[in-house]
Amino acid sequence: MDHRLSRPVVERFVAGERLEDAVDAIIKLNRSGIGGILDLLGEGVTDPASASEAEDEYLASIKLIEETGIDTTVTIKLTQLGLAFDKAECIEYVRRLATEARSIGTYIEIDMEQTAFVSDTLEVYRALRADFDDIRLAMQAYLRRTPADLQAMAELRPKIRLIKGAYSESPEVAVQKRAEIDAQFAWLTDWLLANGTDPAIGTHDGALIDHCIASAGRAGVGKEGFELQFLYGIRRDLQQRLADEGYRTRVYVPFGSAWYPYLMRRMAERPANLRFFLRALAGG
Q: Quote the CA–CA distance of 217 and 31 in Å, as a whole number.
A: 28
Q: Which of 39, 111, 248, 250 does the annotation list as catalytic? A: 111
Q: What is the torsion angle, in degrees rounded to the nearest 10, for the CA atoms of residue 22, residue 134, residue 213 and residue 153?
A: 130
User: Of 190, 202, 268, 258, nearest to 235 (Cα)?
Assistant: 202
Q: Is 111 a catalytic residue?
A: yes
Q: Is 161 a catalytic residue?
A: yes
DSSP string, the chain: --HHHHHHHHHHH---SSHHHHHHHHHHHHHTT-EEEEEE------SHHHHHHHHHHHHHHHHHHHHHT--EEEEE-GGGGTTTT-HHHHHHHHHHHHHHHHHTT--EEE----GGGHHHHHHHHHHHHTT-TT-EEEEETTBTTHHHHHHHTGGG---EEEE---S---TTTB--SHHHHHHHHHHHHHHHHHHSSS-EEE---HHHHHHHHHHHHHTT--GGG-EEEEETTSSHHHHHHHHHTT--EEEEEEESTTHHHHHHHHHHH-HHHHHHHHHHHHH-
Q: Which of 136, 161, 235, 250 does the annotation list as catalytic? A: 161
User: Of 132, 60, 54, nearest to 86 (Cα)?
Assistant: 54
Residues designated catalytic: 111, 161
